[in-house]
Chain A
Amino acid sequence: MNFSASTYQNEFLPSDATEVHAVVTVTATNGEATAATSPEKAVVLIVDTSGSMGQPSTKIRAARQALAASVEELPDGTWFAVISGSHEAMCVYPPTYATGEPPSLVRADAMSRAEAGAVARQLRPEGGTAIGTWLDMARDVFAGHPEAIKLAYLLTDGRNESEPHRNLEAALQRCTGVFQCDARGVGSDWNVSELRLITSTLLGEVDIIADPDEMDDDFRAFLERALGKAVADVRLRIWAPQGSTIKFVRQVAPTIDDLTAKATPVNPLTGDFPTGAWAGDESRDYHVCVNVPVGKVGDEKLAARVSLVVGDQPVSQALVKAIWTDDHALTARISPQVAHYTGQAELASAIHEGLEARKQGDNDTATVRLGRAVQLAHESGNEGTVKLLQKVVEVDDPATGTVRLKRGVAAVDEMALDTRSTRTVRVTAKPAAPADPATPAPGPEA
């Protein structure tokens, strides 16, 4: 497994500028990854079995089916466990509770797969929802396998209403760095920000399963991704010079996730930002912004050294530079990558603010922000987001962001937009981005 990192930026700054932006693309490629060198994989499937999963019963039936089918397909040797979650958590497989042993993982083989499938088919919906207890149980289950790549999948259909919110926060704190967790909300009675808190803290992805029929595919897709991971605990190690501050570090592709607050200091000038486990064929983009002390015209300085660290071993690095110049032709250029991802980040926040305003009944703000979102999604070729937006607004003109709010929007459509608003597209190879100079408009001959 090899990593490479490259920087996209305009390193030329006007004489009074201190803010340096760069996009760092990190790509993993399968070198000679062998079964012998790649670590063990452990997956924990956490399924909501609260009473609401039985109303309608299509939800629990789909969950039983999806869960059974996926455990029955686990490859030999995968470590796994199944947790049933309500107002309390129970590790239903392996059933260590029956013998009074502490919860643990079990290796997949013909017998364990069959037993787990049978248990999955008998899950009954009753009780409340206390997600913090589910996460704590997962942490206990994973405890015996510190070296494994540890991924959990959490499925719920409701809000975390059987425990105070601080319990969830405390559980998340205990689980941080122990395992990664994806979260799925079924239907429209769950809370997007609650699940986003979980996945943002535990380096996972949040998504909506609007229709229980989609559960089967989603479980499979999760396992495929999980089993494809080849390296655990990869970190971005960022050094910035004395007197500077790292303004933000953001994953910007495939989804937007702010890593700024997750830094662990390595030394006074260096911090580590967690990125979780990587597959052998993955590529992600990071937007790094550093405020450096102002330089004089002609100065060149390193604004950031971005290293990729596996274990404690730097495996690749990218340099972010700053060169101060009074040549406007140089400083006026903009890195297309930086511009693109700045737009994608604005797109996500425009959607968030638009939906929030709509909830508050502020239709003017909602129209403006969602209109801006349509414009940004359109400009950047983010067709997935355009489609989601079209379910919430009538688009009169995508180029100018002229939209009208739709009446009677389905809750699942609004939540799908909210949940998927952080998905980005990469820079398209369009010949001429209309950013600058301005798009040739009908105008007098200049």
Chain B
Amino acid sequence: MPVTCPNGHQSESTDYCDTCGAVIGGAAPDPTTGPAAGDTAKVPAVAAPTCPNCGAPREPDEAFCEVCGLDFATGQLPVAPAGGPDPAAAGAAAPPTGEDTGWVAVVSADHAYFESNQAESPDASVTFPTDAAVREVPLMSSEIQIGRRSDSKGIFPEIDLSEPPSDPGVSRRHAALRRQPDGEWVVVDHGSTNGTVVRSAVSAIKPGDAVRLHDGDHLHVGAWTRITLRKVGTAT
């Protein structure tokens, strides 16, 4: 016997609507908003915290809005809010969508750093790449992700350290560079497995803390990767 789904479709299937896939007879409120259905979405009973600027859902412990980049502590927006870094759509190989910030990240393999790590905790399975080229990644938006690309997980970091020489010590979502209102940058570690070290400090930065970077400052991630920030232009 056909049943009616929350979006008003007649469905032969009684578990999920055989037109729009909505749950049928589920106890939970189900604000389905398939474009296929001109429906009246119910608002979830418990309002999730949202960004006061753009309304995007936010995590209670987040320092910045993931969509518009608003700094929740200061209430300031990044200088040039990018069109919204879309982690699902912005492929590593895709052309940069944002504007040229006038900064580049220089990515290189640092043998001295690798050696000091090996001295601290030797791991024979990791070998230093002998043929690593130095890469320059222009910082084309106000948020630059550092990590390892994963198609299956939908992770496409701008600074993709899965590219040869793939650094095995870098987490998929490792850290981010975020542009500040004054045009300078901070680095925030996402809670990576092996941490992020700024300016060759003795210990890694605390996950979630925004640490200032100035022109010429460098940071280390993974087994050997060194990332140096350089101001190259005079972008606004």
| B-binding residues in A (CB < 8 A) | 14-19, 21, 239-244, 269, 292-293, 295-303, 305, 319, 322, 326, 328, 332, 334, 338-339, 342, 368, 371-372, 375, 397, 399-402, 434-446
If the complex has contacts A241-B19, A299-B33, are A15 and B57 also in contact, measured as CB distance less than 8 A?
yes
A377 to B139, CA, bound (A): 34
On chain A, the residues within 8 Å of B184 by CB distance are: none
Is A19 within 8 A of B88, CB to CB?
yes
Is B48 within 8 A of A326, CB to CB?
yes
> How many residues of B are in contact with the other chain, CB < 8 A?
68
Q: Chain B interface mostly helix, strand, loop or mixed?
A: loop
Q: A16-B86, A295-B32, A437-B172 are in contact. List 8 more A-B contacts (CB 8 A).
A: A241-B19, A244-B21, A298-B28, A305-B18, A334-B153, A342-B151, A441-B169, A442-B120
Q: Which residue of A lies closest to B205 (CB)?
A: A446
If the complex has contacts A292-B21, A332-B173, A436-B171, are A446 and B204 also in contact, measured as CB distance less than 8 A?
yes
Question: Is B10 located at the chain interface by the 8 A CB criterion?
Answer: no
Is B19 within 8 A of A269, CB to CB?
yes
A332 to B22, CA, bound (A): 24
Is A17 within 8 A of B48, CB to CB?
no
Is A293 within 8 A of B36, CB to CB?
yes
Is A17 within 8 A of B154, CB to CB?
yes
Is B88 within 8 A of A445, CB to CB?
no
Tell me which of B58, B117, B125 contacts A443 (CB under 8 A): B117
A302 to B165, CA, bound (A): 40
Tell me which of B21, B57, B121 contacts A297 (CB under 8 A): B57
Docked complex: B64-79 residues within 8 A CB-CB of A: none
On chain A, the residues within 8 Å of B153 by CB distance are: 332, 334, 339, 436
Question: Is B129 located at the chain interface by the 8 A CB criterion?
Answer: yes
Is A438 within 8 A of B168, CB to CB?
yes
On chain B, the residues within 8 Å of A295 by CB distance are: 32-34
A396 to B213, CA, bound (A): 37
A400 to B128, CA, bound (A): 9
On chain A, the residues within 8 Å of B122 by CB distance are: 442
On chain A, the residues within 8 Å of B87 by CB distance are: 14, 16
Chain B, 102-131, contact with A by CB distance < 8 Å: what is the 0/1 string?
000000000000000110111101110100
Tell me which of A242, A342, A437 contacts B19 (CB under 8 A): A242
Is A300 within 8 A of B36, CB to CB?
no
Q: Which residue of A lies closest to B129 (CB)?
A: A400
Chain B, 22-39, contact with A by CB distance < 8 Å: what is the 0/1 string?
110010111111111000
Is B18 within 8 A of A269, CB to CB?
yes
A179 to B15, CA, bound (A): 37
Is A300 within 8 A of B222, CB to CB?
no
Is B164 within 8 A of A368, CB to CB?
yes
Is B88 within 8 A of A17, CB to CB?
yes
On chain A, the residues within 8 Å of B88 by CB distance are: 14, 16-19
Could you give 9 example pairs across A and B, Cβ below 8 Å? A19-B88, A241-B19, A296-B31, A301-B16, A301-B23, A303-B21, A305-B13, A434-B168, A438-B171
If the complex has contacts A443-B223, A444-B117, are A241 and B34 also in contact, measured as CB distance less than 8 A?
yes
Chain A CB count within 10 A is highest, among B16, B41, B222, for B16
A342 to B152, CA, bound (A): 7
A243 to B48, CA, bound (A): 27
Is A21 within 8 A of B152, CB to CB?
yes
Question: Is B148 located at the chain interface by the 8 A CB criterion?
Answer: yes
Please give the distance in Å from B17's CB to the nearest CB on chain A.
Answer: 8
A349 to B76, CA, bound (A): 46
Is B193 within 8 A of A438, CB to CB?
yes
Question: Is B192 located at the chain interface by the 8 A CB criterion?
Answer: yes
Is A441 within 8 A of B171, CB to CB?
no
Docked complex: B174-232 residues within 8 A CB-CB of A: 174, 192-195, 197, 202-204, 207, 222-223
Question: Is B166 located at the chain interface by the 8 A CB criterion?
Answer: yes
Is A305 within 8 A of B222, CB to CB?
no
Q: Which residue of A lies closest to B201 (CB)?
A: A444
Tell me which of A297, A302, A334, A401 contacts B150 (CB under 8 A): A334
Is A302 within 8 A of B16, CB to CB?
yes
Question: Is B2 located at the chain interface by the 8 A CB criterion?
Answer: no
If the complex has contacts A397-B127, A441-B117, A442-B223, are A301 and B32 also in contact, measured as CB distance less than 8 A?
yes
Is A442 within 8 A of B118, CB to CB?
yes
On chain A, the residues within 8 Å of B194 by CB distance are: 438, 440-441, 443-444, 446
Please give the distance in Å from A332's CB to the nearest CB on chain B.
Answer: 7
Is B164 within 8 A of A371, CB to CB?
yes
Is A443 within 8 A of B31, CB to CB?
no
Q: Which residue of A lies closest to B171 (CB)?
A: A438
If the complex has contacts A241-B20, A243-B35, A444-B120, are A438 and B172 also in contact, measured as CB distance less than 8 A?
yes
Is B150 within 8 A of A400, CB to CB?
no
A305 to B21, CA, bound (A): 9
Tell me which of B17, B22, B123 contacts A442 (CB under 8 A): B123
Please give the distance in Å from B21's CB to the nearest CB on chain A.
Answer: 4
On chain B, the residues within 8 Å of A242 by CB distance are: 19-20, 34, 36
Tell me which of B23, B120, B168 contacts A439 (CB under 8 A): B168
On chain B, the residues within 8 Å of A442 by CB distance are: 117-118, 120-123, 126, 169, 223
Is B203 within 8 A of A445, CB to CB?
yes
Please give the distance in Å from A289's CB to the nearest CB on chain B.
Answer: 10
